[in-house]
RNA sequence: GCCGGCGUAGCUCAGUUGGCAGAGCAAUCGCCUUGUAAGCGAUAGGUCGGGGGUUCGAGUCCCCCCGCCGGCUCCA
């Protein structure tokens, strides 16, 4: 019998009879591999276990434990869910059903929206399909056949029509459900052991708000019940960290229906944290050659007409009319950005190349009328404060400025907060953008070179830049692995052009400066939200609104407690005394719940010895300490030390 | 903005087929005088998100609005 030879990832070769399939190869290598194999990567393409191997193929078996193995499972789970929906809702039409991070979804066109009971019924039907262990069968068809097979399925037909000429059209069938699909899939439905449907949502067909809204069902799927349980636990843990919940429990901020959606009101403890952040960042910026500005919250509308925001983003701005009393009515707008003020500072004088770079920062509060469906606690508010800055510089300075910003990003995100982060560079949007080609080229190259100079890897988001310039976005990773976009560094050709900014060069010619926008924390609100969730409310001592609480054991220790408080306050420690007439353990429970870093228990022993009994919120009882030792303890995580 | 769900005391939540609005915690007042994660007793606390409608009667059913939650779209 003729033989073929395939190469394996370790460089080894394996001979197999002609016509052998991937599953045969897996079996030939070993029974354990065969049992956990899901699909294979053949010459870089993912294929089913049924795929017939050709001579000389490079083959890598994809197992359950591989990343692709999980996404194949989830994709297959989506097909099974679609089959269940087809069984229960015969008139349903089908959109797309991909695997996503941690799960999958499928979009359906149905006569009425799904409700939670439907979800249970669909899940029950899925379990039957899984129990029956039906195989996934692949077939390849021509375009016309594919079109005919999806009678009454407008979305599928649209997808087929949009497939490129050169693409192979493949269909997968399990049971009575056939889907247009590239594959691969798990061998049969029994592999989908551990899954759960999680939520229902509306979703526009192809993500286009002008097209029909379909019903999307989300689910998650894993190879074992243990993994599924771990995932569900992870979700629960994330919910416990929800900054909206903790913000309420820790008395940091609130929202009020009468005030309006998306407008956070900071209580003293929340305000304290924000000010602590600013008071730490401000000297750091001075050290790095920034100057601080304070600019108005409102401007006459003319400013926004010049900047272009009136036309581009007017719908998201707050406008109001003021009767000046002399027959004139002026229109003003609340600022959605801090740039104009900084531009006016630059433009207030004749500027020389010697003035550059000019780095102006501001903790600037802005208001944007975000669409009602998107406001989300502190993460997406309508009023928020940016740690904003604008750098006016010569073209040849752009590179060094970006490098300096990336250094600042690293200091803040990594050195101070310990976040891992990654970078993305967004390039010129094709079609709608302003500025000369060479400017875009120089700016984009500066961003890339700066990343390279700092050894910062980046991904490219082709055409995702702003209309006025390219940008670097920094995404950080929090304690439980979620990513958040905070820092952004943008090059702007729009403002200098529209406001006619110039400076005199060394050759005494006139030139237009480059303008760089940048935020490090991004929105202070959002960053606070991220920190709350990252620390699960247990702020490090240097950011804790209350660093220590003094806990008198009995009323007779109140005087000494107040002594301790006064002495610590004098040394800059943020301290409260729990003077309520309650047993100590109740005060400790309250302080623990408030996630206060240190509790100082004072009773007869401490009052006599002039000491305190220190309890660390996570370590527990640390024993007796002097106040000097407490001050040292409280300050030891401060990044400025 | 779109789809779906939700809104009851400061907080977390019960409230049956439409028939007198409840609990725990917190608060207040007593008692206890406390040694490392939740004592005891009493009192007070409500336009049931707002408005309109159906009904003898609405927290409960219907409509509109506001807000919140999960997504979609958006995030200059």
Domain harbouring A403, CATH code: 3.30.930.10
A567 and A526 in a common domain: no
User: Could you give the percent of chain A with pLDDT greater than 70?
Assistant: 100
pLDDT of residue A173: 95
| Residue predicted with more confidence, A319 or A467 | A319
In a domain, A257, yes or no: no
A82 and A220 in a common domain: yes
Report the domain count for chain A.
4
Rounded to 10 degrees, the C-alpha dihedral A182/A186/A189/A191 comes to -150
Measured CA to C1', the nucleotide nearest A260 is B67
pLDDT of residue A30: 87
In angstroms, the CA of A269 and the C1' of B48 are apart by 32
pLDDT of residue A437: 85
Residues facing residue A390 across a β-bridge: A360, A517
* Structural domain harbouring A340: 280-297+335-534
Residue of A368, A382, A557, A574 with catalytic role = A368
User: What six digits make up the tokens of A633?
Assistant: 């303890």
User: What six digits make up the tokens of A148?
Assistant: 């005919």
pLDDT of residue A418: 93
Q: Residue A430 above 80 pLDDT?
A: no
- What 3-state class would DSSP assign to A412? helix
In a domain, A272, yes or no: no
What's the whole-number mean pLDDT along residues A470-485? 89
A372 and A355 in a common domain: yes
At A468, the pLDDT band (50, 70, 90 cuts) reads confident
A375 and A521 in a common domain: yes
In a domain, A601, yes or no: yes
Residue of A48, A179, A388, A478 with catalytic role = A388
In a domain, A252, yes or no: no
In a domain, A267, yes or no: no
Residue closest to A179 by CA, chosen among A262, A90, A106: A106
pLDDT digits (tens, 9 = 90+) for A85-103: 999 999 999 999 999 989 9
A610 and A594 in a common domain: yes
In a domain, A539, yes or no: no
pLDDT of residue A34: 87
CATH number at residue A84: 3.30.980.10
In a domain, A317, yes or no: no
A502 and A580 in a common domain: no
pLDDT of residue A465: 87
In a domain, A556, yes or no: yes
What's the whole-number mean pLDDT along residues A26-33? 88
Measured CA to C1', the nucleotide nearest A623 is B36
Residue of A351, A517, A557, A617 with catalytic role = A517
| Distance separating alpha carbons of residues A544 and A532, to the nearest angstrom | 11
Q: Residue A17 above 80 pLDDT?
A: yes
Q: Residue A247 above 90 pLDDT?
A: yes
Annotation says A380 is catalytic: no
Q: Residue A76 above 90 pLDDT?
A: yes
User: What six digits make up the tokens of A191?
Assistant: 């592999």
pLDDT of residue A388: 97
In angstroms, the CA of A196 and the C1' of B58 are apart by 38
Q: Residue A33 above 90 pLDDT?
A: no
A171 and A39 in a common domain: no
pLDDT digits (tens, 9 = 90+) for A345-399: 999 999 999 999 999 999 999 999 999 999 999 999 999 999 999 999 999 999 9
| Distance separating alpha carbons of residues A80 and A93, to the nearest angstrom | 15
A155 and A135 in a common domain: yes
A104 and A59 in a common domain: no
What's the whole-number mean pLDDT along residues A520-541? 95
| Residue predicted with more confidence, A464 or A335 | A335
A568 and A520 in a common domain: no
pLDDT of residue A445: 92
A480 and A341 in a common domain: yes
Give me chain A's average pLDDT, please.
Answer: 93
Nucleotides of strand B lying closer than 7 angstroms to a protein CB: 1-5, 7, 11-12, 27, 31-39, 49, 66-76
User: What six digits make up the tokens of A155?
Assistant: 């979305």
CATH number at residue A21: 3.10.20.30
**A475 exposure class (CB count in 10 Å sphere: 0-12, 13-18, 19+):** middle
* Domain stop point among A33, A63, A93: A63
pLDDT digits (tens, 9 = 90+) for A580-618: 999 999 999 999 999 999 999 999 999 999 999 999 999
In angstroms, the CA of A584 and the C1' of B42 are apart by 23
CB A39 within 8 A of CB A23: no
pLDDT digits (tens, 9 = 90+) for A403-424: 999 999 999 999 999 999 999 9
pLDDT of residue A466: 85
Measured CA to C1', the nucleotide nearest A312 is B76
A518 and A558 in a common domain: no
**Which ranges of A387-491 does DSSP label H, i.e. alpha helix?**
398-410, 437-453
At A44, the pLDDT band (50, 70, 90 cuts) reads confident
At A438, the pLDDT band (50, 70, 90 cuts) reads confident
What's the whole-number mean pLDDT along residues A157-184? 92
What's the whole-number mean pLDDT along residues A281-304? 96
Q: Residue A167 above 80 pLDDT?
A: yes
Listed in order, strand segments (DSSP E) in A276-430 are: 291-292, 298-300, 319-323, 329-334, 358-367, 383-393, 420-426
């Amino acid at each position: 019998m003729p033989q073929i030879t395939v190469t394996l990832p370790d460089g080894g070769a394996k001979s197999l009879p002609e016509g052998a399939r991937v599953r045969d190869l897996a079996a030939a290598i070993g029974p354990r591999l065969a049992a956990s194999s899901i699909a294979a990567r053949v010459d870089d393409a993912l294929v089913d276990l049924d795929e017939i191997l050709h001579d000389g193929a490079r083959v890598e078996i994809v197992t359950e434990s591989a990343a692709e193995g999980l996404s194949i499972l989830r994709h297959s789970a989506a097909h099974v869910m679609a089959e269940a929906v087809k069984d229960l809702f015969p008139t349903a039409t089908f959109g797309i059903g991909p695997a996503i991070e941690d799960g999958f979804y499928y979009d359906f066109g149905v006569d009425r929206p799904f409700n939670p009971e439907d979800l249970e019924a669909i899940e029950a039907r899925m379990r039957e399909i899984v129990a029956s262990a039906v195989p996934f069968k692949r077939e390849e068809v021509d375009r016309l056949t594919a079109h005919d097979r999806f009678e009454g399925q407008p979305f599928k037909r649209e997808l087929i029509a949009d497939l490129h000429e050169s693409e192979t059209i493949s269909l997968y069938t399990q049971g009575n459900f056939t889907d247009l699909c590239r594959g691969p899939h798990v061998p049969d439905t029994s592999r989908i052991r551990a899954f759960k449907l999680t939520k229902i949502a509306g979703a526009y067909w192809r993500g286009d708000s002008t097209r029909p809204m379909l019903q999307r069902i989300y689910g998650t799927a894993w190879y074992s019940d243990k993994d599924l349980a771990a995932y569900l636990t992870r979700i629960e843990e994330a919910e416990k960290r929800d900054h909206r919940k903790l913000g309420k429990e820790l008395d940091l901020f609130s929202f009020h229906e009468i005030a309006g959606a998306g407008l956070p009101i900071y209580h003293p403890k929340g305000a304290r944290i924000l000010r602590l952040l600013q008071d730490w960042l401000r000297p750091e910026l001075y050290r790095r050659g920034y100057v601080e500005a304070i600019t108005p919250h409102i401007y006459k509308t003319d400013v926004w007409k010049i900047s272009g925001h009136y036309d581009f983003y007017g719908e998201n701005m707050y406008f109001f009319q003021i009767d000046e009393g002399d027959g004139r009515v002026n229109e003003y707008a609340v600022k959605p950005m801090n740039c104009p003020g900084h531009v006016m500072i630059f433009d207030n004088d004749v500027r020389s190349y010697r003035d550059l770079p000019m780095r102006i920062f501001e903790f600037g509060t802005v208001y944007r009328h975000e669409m009602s469906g998107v406001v989300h606690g502190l993460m997406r508010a309508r009023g928020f404060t940016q740690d904003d800055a604008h750098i006016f510089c010569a073209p040849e300075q752009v590179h060094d400025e970006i490098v300096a910003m990336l250094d600042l990003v690293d200091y803040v995100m990594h050195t101070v907060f310990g976040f891992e982060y990654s970078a993305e560079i967004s390039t010129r949007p094709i079609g709608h953008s302003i500025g000369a080609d060479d400017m875009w080229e120089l700016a984009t190259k500066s961003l890339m070179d700066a990343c390279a100079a700092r050894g910062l890897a980046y991904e490219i988001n082709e055409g995702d830049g702003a209309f006025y310039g390219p940008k670097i976005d920094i995404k950080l990773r929090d304690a439980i692995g979620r990513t958040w976009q905070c820092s952004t560094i943008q090059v702007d050709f729009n403002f200098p052009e529209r406001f006619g900014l110039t400076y005199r060069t060394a050759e005494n010619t006139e030139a237009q400066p480059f303008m760089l926008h940048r935020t490090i924390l991004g929105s202070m609100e959002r960053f606070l939200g991220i920190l709350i969730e990252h620390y699960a409310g247990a702020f490090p001592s240097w950011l804790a609104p209350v660093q220590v609480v003094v806990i008198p054991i009995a009323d007779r220790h109140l005087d000494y407690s107040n002594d301790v408080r006064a002495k610590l306050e004098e040394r800059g420690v943020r301290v409260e005394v729990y003077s309520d007439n309650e047993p100590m353990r109740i005060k400790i429970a309250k302080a623990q719940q408030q996630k206060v870093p240190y509790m100082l228990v004072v009773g007869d022993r401490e009052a006599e010895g002039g000491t305190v009994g220190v309890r660390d919120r996570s370590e527990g009882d640390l024993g007796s300490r002097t106040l000097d030792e407490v001050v040292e303890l409280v300050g030891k995580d401060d990044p400025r030390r």
